[in-house]
Amino acid sequence: MFENYFNKRENEILQIKKNQVLQEPGRNPARAFYVKKGLLRSYKVDDNGKSHILMFAPEGWIISDIESHILSTPSELYIDALEDSEVIKIKKFDVTFFTQVEKSNNQLIEKLVRRIAVLQKRVVLLMSSPAKQRYEHFLSTYPQLTNRIPLKMIASYLGITPEALSNIRSKMRSQ
Amino acid sequence: MFENYFNKRENEILQIKKNQVLQEPGRNPARAFYVKKGLLRSYKVDDNGKSHILMFAPEGWIISDIESHILSTPSELYIDALEDSEVIKIKKFDVTFFTQVEKSNNQLIEKLVRRIAVLQKRVVLLMSSPAKQRYEHFLSTYPQLTNRIPLKMIASYLGITPEALSNIRSKMRSQ
DNA sequence: CGATTTTTTGAATCATATCAACGTACGTGG
DNA sequence: CCACGTACGTTGATATGATTCAAAAAATCG
């Protein structure tokens, strides 16, 4: 769906090295990236300096601080690369962007609603389930990602320490 | 903004008693309600039978399982009243509803994005902050609600037990 | 008022964090 | 290709925060 849009315009294709930072907090407007190849993540750094991963974006995904975009507030997120990646920087990323890319606004709305659904699910999981169940949910929801993402980042996504996830894994092994 | 829409149509105005359930899981499509007066909440019941409150809706808010709506999947949420309330049942709640009520789709999009922002914030808080800080965040974000909502429901919103919240409060008192 | 629900308190237990040490894998320069 | 250094992952000991369970006190409702 997005490919068409990108091909017919002069969008910037970037070759990104692993660990390269594509966006830092404070930028306004925030950037958005379409991942052609590789793997990006977005994360937030809290007051104690700890990182919390909000999403992973493998091939075919768009990643951005959509909140910052559409509300024109300074971004609070980092975006960087977990693998060497090929990404397209979306130049004009606002509401009109979607109306061009999507067949209609309704498709954008559906996308946003899906994002709400994912976040809502995650809130309930964080509130109701111990780390082990959250990890199992992650495994079944993103099976294709679990091999590509280092343990400590999965832990950061789940909201636990790397040590805790390591323990969970070892318990799961011995069962 | 919504009032205009409701007044010029034959929408159903409901008088709701405290504790009355407006929506249960399984309903498809899910309903949506505009709160004229009173206080509603939406919540999910997990596999262990525990409730987790997703949002409170005081006067002027719309509450619904928007995910269920727009994706036409069965609802997983309950909606009920925490106070005697006066609500308007939105009959035709889909994308076209918003295009009539809102000046443009962009306003709907902005609403959805705000919802994403709130949920994203909540995910990070759940992952990074101990219960006390989450409670303080709740207090400062919804000062007008804290007196109206019983402790045990605030606990359910924060993802902790009522006992834990009671302890936090007593510690805060003695400081 | 009495009955029911909510809030508080305390004790025992559990899950996860923290800290420290060690083992392993990986990439780079020699 | 090897040796080294750096990152990452694992493991164990201890500390902390929250849960669970039980019971009493306080608030609310009919």
Do A125 and A159 meet the contact criterion of CB atoms below 8 Å apart? no
Among residues A37, A53, A23, the alpha carbon closest in space to that of A151 is found at A53
Q: In this structure, what DSSP letter does residue A38 have?
A: S
pLDDT tens sequence across B154-165: 999 999 999 999
3-class secondary-structure state, position A103: coil
A42 membership: H or E segment, kind and range: strand A40-45
Q: In whole angstroms, what is the distance from residue B76 CA to residue B85 CA?
A: 23
Summary mean pLDDT of chain A: 84
3-class secondary-structure state, position B173: helix
Mean pLDDT, residues A100-123 taken together? 75
- Residue A125 burial by Cβ neighbours in a 10 Å radius (0-12, 13-18, 19+): buried
Domain definitions of chain A by residue range: 2-104
At residue A132, φ and ψ (nearest 5 deg) are -60, -45
Q: What is the pLDDT of residue B92?
A: 59
Residues of chain A neighbouring B138 (CB-CB closer than 8 A):
none
pLDDT tens sequence across B75-121: 989 999 999 999 988 765 555 555 555 555 566 777 788 888 889 88
Summary mean pLDDT of chain B: 85
Residues of chain A neighbouring B69 (CB-CB closer than 8 A):
113
In this complex, do A123 and B120 lie within 8 Å of one another by their Cβ atoms?
no
Residues of chain A neighbouring B113 (CB-CB closer than 8 A):
66-67, 69-71, 112
Do B51 and B94 meet the contact criterion of CB atoms below 8 Å apart? no
Do A84 and B88 meet the contact criterion of CB atoms below 8 Å apart? no
Residue B125 has pLDDT above 60, yes or no: yes
Q: What is the pLDDT of residue B8?
A: 47
Specify the residue for token string 């009959």: B91
User: Does pTM surpass 0.85?
Assistant: yes
Q: Determine how β-strand A32-37 pairs with β-strand A62-64.
A: antiparallel
Q: What is the pLDDT of residue B168?
A: 97
Q: Closest residue of B to A157, CA-based? A: B127
Q: What is the DSSP string of A109-152?
A: HHHHHHHHHHHHHHHHHHHHS-HHHHHHHHHHH-TTTTTTS-HH
pLDDT tens sequence across A110-120: 778 888 888 99
Which of the residues B64, B108, B123 would you substitute to probe the A interface, choosing the one with the greatest number of A C-beta atoms within 10 Å? B123
- Residue B173 burial by Cβ neighbours in a 10 Å radius (0-12, 13-18, 19+): exposed
Mean pLDDT, residues B120-134 taken together? 93
Q: What is the pLDDT of residue A8?
A: 47
Those nucleotides of strand D lying less than 7 Å from any protein Cβ are: 8-13, 17-22
Query: Within 7 Å: CB of B136 and strand D?
Result: no
- Dihedral of the alpha carbons of A138, B128, B57, B164, in degrees to the nearest 10: 100
Architecture per CATH, domain B2-104, reads as Sandwich (2.60)
Q: Closest residue of A to B156, CA-based? A: A127
Q: Which distant-in-sequence residues (6+ apart) come within 8 Å of B48 by Cβ?
A: A128
What is the percent of chain A where pLDDT is above 70? 83
Do A9 and A21 meet the contact criterion of CB atoms below 8 Å apart? no
What tokens were used for A18?
């692993």
pLDDT tens sequence across B14-36: 999 999 999 999 877 778 898 99
pLDDT tens sequence across A124-158: 999 989 999 999 999 999 998 998 999 999 999 99
Residue A87 has pLDDT above 80, yes or no: yes
Q: Which of A12-21, A50-59, B50-59, B127-136 is least confident? A: A12-21
Q: In whole angstroms, what is the distance from residue B148 CA to residue B38 CA?
A: 10
Among residues A105, A63, A96, A88, the alpha carbon closest in space to that of A7 is found at A88
> Which nucleotide comes closest to B173 if you measure CA to C1'?
C8
Query: Predicted confidence band at A58 (pLDDT cuts at 50, 70, 90)?
Result: very high
Q: In whole angstroms, what is the distance from residue B27 CA to residue B127 CA?
A: 32
